[in-house]
Amino acid sequence: MQPLDDIRVLCVTVYLAGPFCAMNLARLGADVIKVEIPGRGDPVRGNGPFTGANGTHVQRQSDDDLSTRFLKRTQGVKSVTLDLKHPRGKEMFLQLAKESDVVLENLAPGSLRRIGLGYDDVSRVNPGIVYASISGYGQTGPYADKPAHDPQIQGMSGLMDINGDADGPPTKVGFYIGDLVTPLFTCYAILAALREKDRTGLGQYLDV
């Protein structure tokens, strides 16, 4: 028995921050379903090293080889393919969301809202949904649409200015601090929102 055994999470997550959050929820027992786009799926599927029947290599040796980075970031997570821009794909997503407790996404701000799958759309079919969005600068404001990979966030936060040598240039921290810490705070927020849902029956939107 795990803490989130009765919780289902529907996620549209790519690269690191979103998948790391989803994986941690899966480790707590949640049933996590990752929605990927047709054709290539999460872009990390194309990043090496790759592993398969012939061992592990920097370059893909076979179409059956899998990215070790992708495997590492999706432990305990199920994957499905849906074309979210197609009416049938949107219908299936909303049906899954209706049967879920959490929707988690880390696409560019507004991406799901623009195709009719934002918080307002999902909460109409499931008022109890906890809908969490991870982004670099939030969903609104003057920086919302700016690039927000980990190096940019380290620079914008001022962290690079206090790292490195005293008389040297701003220096990036040696690991993906933004992409690894933000998902943990998102997990905390999701757990708190689920507790609030237990008391009120209502979901909420989390902008992290």
Instruction: List, in sequence order, every residue forming a beta bridge with 57; answer none if it has no partner.
Output: 50
| Mean pLDDT computed over every residue of the chain | 95
Place of tokens 């012939």: 54
Tokens of 125: 């079919």
Q: Is the pLDDT of residue 171 over 90?
A: yes
Cα separation, 174 vs 139, in Å, equals 27
Q: What is the pLDDT of residue 169?
A: 92
End-to-end CA distance of the chain: 29
Spatial separation of the C-alpha atoms in residues 37 and 85, rounded to whole Å: 10
Which tokens belong to 150? 């980990």
Residue 137 identity: Y
Give me the pLDDT at residue 61, please. Answer: 87
- pLDDT of res. 41: 94
8-142+177-207 has which fold?
Answer: Rossmann fold (3.40.50)
40-73 pLDDT per residue, tens:
899 999 999 999 998 999 998 888 999 999 999 9
- Give catalytic residue positions: 179
Give the Cα separation of 17 and 184 in Å (integer).
9
CA neighbours closer than 13 Å in the CB half-sphere of residue 86: 8
- Angle in degrees, CA 124, 127, 129, rounded to 5: 110
**Region 7-19: what's the mean pLDDT?**
98
Alpha helices of 33-135 — where are they, by DSSP H? Answer: 68-73, 87-98, 111-114, 119-125
Angle, CA of 198, 79 and 71, to the nearest 5°: 105
pTM beyond 0.85, yes or no: yes
d(CA 27, CA 40): 26
Question: Would you kindly state where each structural domain of the chain is located, as residue ranges?
Answer: 8-142+177-207
Angle at which helices 17-27 and 177-200 pack, to 10 degrees?
50
Residue 38: is its pLDDT beyond 90?
yes
Per-residue model confidence as pLDDT tens digits over 78-115 = 999 999 999 999 999 999 999 999 999 999 999 999 99
Predicted confidence at residue 62, as pLDDT, reads 86
**What whole-number distance in Å separates Cα of residue 103 and Cα of residue 118?**
10
Q: How far apart are CA 172 and CA 183, in angstroms?
A: 19
Q: Which pLDDT belongs to residue 79?
A: 97
Alpha-carbon distance of 112 to 13, in angstroms, equals: 11
- Residue 196's pLDDT is 98
Quote the percentage of the chain above a pLDDT of 90.
85
Q: Tell me the residue type at 47.
A: N
pLDDT tens-digit series, residues 137-149: 999 999 999 888 8
Name the most confidently modeled range: 1-10, 46-55, 169-178: 1-10
pLDDT, average across residues 111-122: 98
Query: What is residue 164's predicted lDDT score, i.e. its pLDDT?
Result: 85
